[in-house]
Structure 1
Amino acid sequence: MGEYVAEENLPYIPDDLTLPQFILDSSHPTRPIRRHGISWFVDDTTGSQIGFEEVRSRVFGLANALYTKLNIRENDVVCLFSQNDVDYPIIMWAVHRLGAVVATVNPASNVAELAYHISVSGSTSIFAHTDTLPTAMTAAKQSGIRSDRIILLGAPERAAPNFSGHDLHNLIGYGLSHKANFAERRLEPGEARKKVAFLVFSSGTTGKPKAVAIPHYAIVANIIQLSTFLKVNDESLSLEKRRFRPGHVGLGRLSILSISMLTTNLKLTVVIVPKFNFVRFLESVVRYQVTHLMVVPPIAILLAKHPATKNYDISHIRYLLCGAAPVSAELQEQVVKALPNAEIGQAYGMTETCTVISMFPISQRIGTPGSAGVLIPGVRGRIVKPDGTLARPGELGEFYVTAPSLALGYYNNEKATQETFIDGWVRTGDEGLLNDKGELFILDRVKEILKVRAFQVAPAELEGHLLQHPDVVDACVVGIPDEFSGELPLAFVVLSADAAKRAASGDAEKIKSSIFKHVADNKAKYKHLHGGVEFMDAIPKNPSGKLLRRILRDIAKELKSKRGQFPAKL
């Protein structure tokens, strides 16, 4: 009792292959063979398509050029600072062919943030998109990286006039036109478990980002775990019962943590959207007849509540998976109404577990409301109560997990590693429960739980309810220190276009009162928004869709200092 183990057995996981060797060069019983003529990636901007053999060829060409012209060698760290792009996986796998490491950085980072990431990771080269190039050039100069060690993705004609680095496509062409100058090393048995493939920075929801060191084995393991769980290559299933089959089209962002894409991409064609705009997103869904969506909660919110959704026929969507943050039962119900023909549910994972730990099973068309599904093969989970004892089914506590896909720890940060990676388990920092069916429910971050008059208040619960208000399209709740109550819930909300116009015309306080009443009429008194309601143009989030509460906490502190003690009492 107190420990939960996934039901299915896990097949053999090779521990002597790098990620590109596993994906591009080898076969595995859990993975299908891609049929000839099915595109792998599609560039949404140009409509250009890339097939399996072209991907493999471009990976070789780039690896050859990086070795020859930039002298990239084993264990060197290369920074990938780009928006979503069809060449994203090409770059990752080319760097891995050389035994080097990819450090991924949020393309919205400013110069100081990028310089910090470069310093922590020890990057010596930067791949930068046209849109991020000015930031990359300035940060590179500050970090002592020569300008000729910057490689440009995107349109070279839009590069800064003083750019003196390399163009990605020219490098690939060079590598393909010259003989192989590098010899790809075969790993020894067990070596993939420790050989670092990626440095992926943690979300930074509560503090400064840390570089998570992810080995090749962890990613390979998670692909096999998910393939097994989803029965991607199980011929015993009827065609209609298979969630992924030839002819299906997915749409989304490709990053190291898009493991669902990597898992299923040998059957799916994946449309890559460089920048997110909801209306253009809908247009792409229709243009390519997208069947599968892997989204973060903000996109789920838009699908459920944005008026533009009704202007497009998206009835061909047959699968939607939501992850990166909890989705309330109320929001899931709205998404089900917006996508009546789709299987819909949630998954749970984190950078430190690389990445998916649980997912709604193929036996469910609609995932259990509020649940992140069941543990996938190879995963063991525990709910640990504040006193250190293991929780019974249905009892709340902090979720601990162990799996073959765990990261190695935080790069060059032993203190943080010891706090999170404990005796082969990851302390997730998420409060949740596992019920008697083995379903995982994530309530909120342990550190984000509010204490109001000694009662615990989960921000995610209030946020899910706020999204039910017709004027609210996004929300984030943080705690305001209060002498009487300890903390008071303060809601930052993004208004619908119509509500924003009414607020600007003098109805702001009326709308705030309506939002307060919406919570007060449905939640216990200690959960009421006595900290206030504040309007924002957008809620700050990291690339995976997690709310950056620390930013809003700072804003809340400024508001409190201007107002003094909040007058509202319970």
Structure 2
Amino acid sequence: MPVTVHNNVVSGPEERGIPAHLSYGQFLFDQLKNGGDNIALVNAETGESVSYRYILQNSVNLAVSLRKLGLKKGDVVGLSSENRFEFVVAALAVIYCGGVLSTLNITYTPGEIIHLLKITNPKFIFISPITSQNIYDCCQELSSPCKLIMLGEFEVVPDCIMYDNLIKDHFNVDDFILTDVDGVQDTVAVMCSSGTTGMPKGVELNHINFLTLSAHMKYYFDYVQKQKKNGIVTGLSLIPWFHAYGFITTFAVMAMNLKIVFLIRFDEQQYLETIQNYKINMTTIVPPLAVFLAKHPLVLKYDLTSLVEVWCGAAPLSKDIQKAVSERTGIDFIKQGYGLTEVTMACLVDLTSGEKVGSCGTPAPGMSVKVIDIENGQKLGPGQEGEIWIKSPLRMKGYMGDRAASDELLDSEGYLRTGDIGYYDTDGYFYIVDRLKELIKYKGFQVAPAELEALLLQHGGVADAGVVGLPDEAAGELPLAFVVAQPNSNVTEKDLVDFVASKVSPAKRLRGGVIFLKDIPKNASGKILRRELRKMLQKYKSKL
């Protein structure tokens, strides 16, 4: 993408145009109409598929029923479900009605769910059989009544409304009128921040945020397809739709009327078979998936060459893993992107064909990015590491119910602090180093866990790794690695300590040692849950 660097600020190309009505619901409604009888979604587990016309008809039917039940503009509606056809229909119906959609992570604990329900105060919550009991129990803790709408055929919990009953009466799509909205002022969705360091926050995003992101996605697709002979026809969606990354990318791709094959859960064999059998052209992944593609022996048994676009986000991906995936699979190049829920996800995107391995790209249209020295607050030039700040039309309205926390993120120029450490090169390409709060402080030196994790993954005996700081009176913190060994590997702690020591400066050595685990705890978007590793570390220390 075109980029300019002026006064240590890196800016992307000019902003893309969006519909004048400024209604995300109207935009999606129109795009679904354009899709007609083309296949929209395919469930890879069952082979069942639905068309754009089917989704449009059912979302209109549901919207009419929700209005009859009392849903009004501005009412919050929760949605707690795995990836399934009804998820998309329910989300669309709420948006058509001018409601505020609140997607709930199905892996959240009761404490986290209750915390979010008290913030959002939903009028209705869509639940699936696998989430129903948890949500039902949590709702008993609320002071305000909340009606549950059950997806699927069976009433798993009492006193719920059945989704199938709400969509059975067909309403003429051409007679349906969407609720009028103010694209700037009205919230369209509350998406949860990842919650890697504490309780998740509810990020309020408006209609313009989503419209602009869809315009950006269209721009990215058009840009990369001009560079290649093979177009994008079929995409694979594995990242959960309740997560902002999965939700936003899936609806943006649907708005382009492409076919989306989706998976409900990650199964190694099914994932690879789906790519091969459906000849998937494009998919979004997270770093653990990239590591799987780079290192797992099963991958070599499948033909993945139909993939022409693979985008990775949610956490830094090392250039070594990028290269390894291409070498093993024949996939041209994994592109990295960078974003956060507070800026409607995609802020930096790499649209090259591998010329900048390790980079997450340049600023998206309409965005300006600066790197700030964490000690003195000064803007930094190329090659200097600091905290990344972003100014963008995609910036959130704020955290629901927490104005103070929202204001703390902004500076006087309207830039939003990301909490991520990185730098840019002389061409304006950015590289993410790690989270500011996760940097290990060894004798005053800053050590990035992500750098050591990427290094450990280069070792043939390592399947996965997570690095944290071990508290130490003399040094402050000592880098310590949690490691998942490759099957049948005999790798030892000394092997890995020596391996890292041979490749890094003294401050970055694994002076805290190595602890072997069966798996590294991660959230739904693939970010390492370092707080869980620190809890494990405390238990480990108490046994010594």
TM-score over 0.5 (shorter chain):
yes
- Would you say 1:376 and 2:364 are equivalent positions? yes
Unaligned runs of 5+ in 2: 1-6
Q: Give the aligned residue type for 2:74.
A: N
- Would you say 1:79 and 2:66 are equivalent positions? no
| RMSD (CA atoms) | 2.4
User: Is the 2:73–2:179 contact (alpha carbons within 8 Å) kept by the matching residues of 1?
Assistant: no
Q: Label 1:36 to 1:182 Cα distance change in 2 as closer, same or farther (>3 A).
A: closer
Q: Identify the match of residue 389 of structure 1 among 374, 378, 396.
A: 378
User: Is the 1:475–1:539 contact (alpha carbons within 8 Å) kept by the matching residues of 2?
Assistant: yes
Q: Give the aligned residue type for 2:17.
A: Y
Q: Give the aligned residue type for 2:106.
A: P
The share of aligned pairs that are identical, in percent, is: 30
- For the residues of structure 2 that align with 1:307 and 1:464, how far apart are their CA atoms? 19
Summarize the alignment of residues 37-116 of structure 1 with structure 2, pairs less than 5 Å apart: 37-68=37-68, 70-116=69-115
Number of residue equivalences: 532
1:413-455 deviation per Cα after TM superposition (whole angstroms, max 9, x unaligned): 1221111133422100001111110101110111111111111
- For the residues of structure 2 that align with 1:129 and 1:185, how far apart are their CA atoms? 27
1:524-560 deviation per Cα after TM superposition (whole angstroms, max 9, x unaligned): 2221111121122222222211111122122223333
Indicate the residue corresponding to 1:21 in structure 2. 26
- For the residues of structure 2 that align with 1:270 and 1:299, how far apart are their CA atoms? 19
Q: Identify the match of residue 505 of structure 2 among 510, 520, 524.
A: 524
- Would you say 1:131 and 2:130 are equivalent positions? yes
- For the residues of structure 2 that align with 1:302 and 1:2, how far apart are their CA atoms? 37
User: Is the 2:44–2:261 contact (alpha carbons within 8 Å) kept by the matching residues of 1?
Assistant: yes
1:160-198 deviation per Cα after TM superposition (whole angstroms, max 9, x unaligned): 3x5331232332114x269999853323xxx21221111
State the Cα distance separating 1:24 from its structure 2 match. 2.1
- Would you say 1:185 and 2:179 are equivalent positions? yes
1:5-57 deviation per Cα after TM superposition (whole angstroms, max 9, x unaligned): 11x22233346432221122269xxxxx9666531111122222222222211
State the Cα distance separating 1:323 from its structure 2 match. 0.4
- For the residues of structure 1 that align with 2:56 and 2:70, how far apart are their CA atoms? 21
- For the residues of structure 2 that align with 1:415 and 1:537, how far apart are their CA atoms? 40
Indicate the residue corresponding to 2:238 in structure 1. 252
- Match of 2:85, SS state, is coil
Q: Label 1:381 to 1:178 Cα distance change in 2 as closer, same or farther (>3 A).
A: closer
Q: Give the aligned residue type for 2:107.
A: A
- Match of 1:46, SS state, is coil
- For the residues of structure 2 that align with 1:411 and 1:367, how far apart are their CA atoms? 41
- Match of 1:421, SS state, is coil
- For the residues of structure 2 that align with 1:268 and 1:341, how far apart are their CA atoms? 21
State the Cα distance separating 1:267 from its structure 2 match. 4.6
1:133-166 deviation per Cα after TM superposition (whole angstroms, max 9, x unaligned): 111111122225658x212224x34x53x53312
Q: Identify the match of residue 241 of structure 1 among 213, 221, 228.
A: 228
Summarize the alignment of residues 157-556 of structure 1 with structure 2, pairs less than 5 Å apart: 157=154, 160=156, 162-174=157-169, 176=170, 184-187=178-181, 191-231=182-222, 241=228, 244-245=231-232, 247-253=233-239, 254-255=241-242, 256-258=244-246, 259-265=248-254, 266-361=256-351, 364-366=352-354, 368-386=356-374, 387-423=376-412, 424-499=414-489, 511-556=492-537
Q: Label 1:346 to 1:335 Cα distance change in 2 as closer, same or farther (>3 A).
A: same
User: Is the 2:325–2:331 contact (alpha carbons within 8 Å) kept by the matching residues of 1?
Assistant: no
User: Is the 1:304–1:331 contact (alpha carbons within 8 Å) kept by the matching residues of 2?
Assistant: yes
Give the stretch that moved more between structures: 554-563 or 480-489: 554-563
- For the residues of structure 2 that align with 1:141 and 1:182, how far apart are their CA atoms? 36
- For the residues of structure 1 that align with 2:381 and 2:57, how far apart are their CA atoms? 52
1:203-234 deviation per Cα after TM superposition (whole angstroms, max 9, x unaligned): 111222111111111011111123224426x9
User: Is the 1:420–1:427 contact (alpha carbons within 8 Å) kept by the matching residues of 2?
Assistant: yes
- For the residues of structure 2 that align with 1:316 and 1:241, how far apart are their CA atoms? 13
- For the residues of structure 2 that align with 1:324 and 1:15, how far apart are their CA atoms? 31
Indicate the residue corresponding to 1:30 in structure 2. none
- Match of 2:488, SS state, is helix
- Would you say 1:4 and 2:10 are equivalent positions? yes
- For the residues of structure 2 that align with 1:179 and 1:465, how far apart are their CA atoms? 55
TM-score (norm 1): 0.88
Q: Label 1:92 to 1:243 Cα distance change in 2 as closer, same or farther (>3 A).
A: farther
Q: Give the aligned residue type for 2:228.
A: K
Q: Give the aligned residue type for 2:395.
A: L
- For the residues of structure 2 that align with 1:359 and 1:413, how far apart are their CA atoms? 30
Unaligned runs of 5+ in 1: 28-32, 503-509, 564-570
- For the residues of structure 1 that align with 2:357 and 2:129, how far apart are their CA atoms? 42
Q: Give the aligned residue type for 2:77.
A: V
- Match of 1:537, SS state, is coil
User: Is the 2:303–2:329 contact (alpha carbons within 8 Å) kept by the matching residues of 1?
Assistant: no
- Match of 2:521, SS state, is coil
- For the residues of structure 1 that align with 2:503 and 2:379, how far apart are their CA atoms? 32
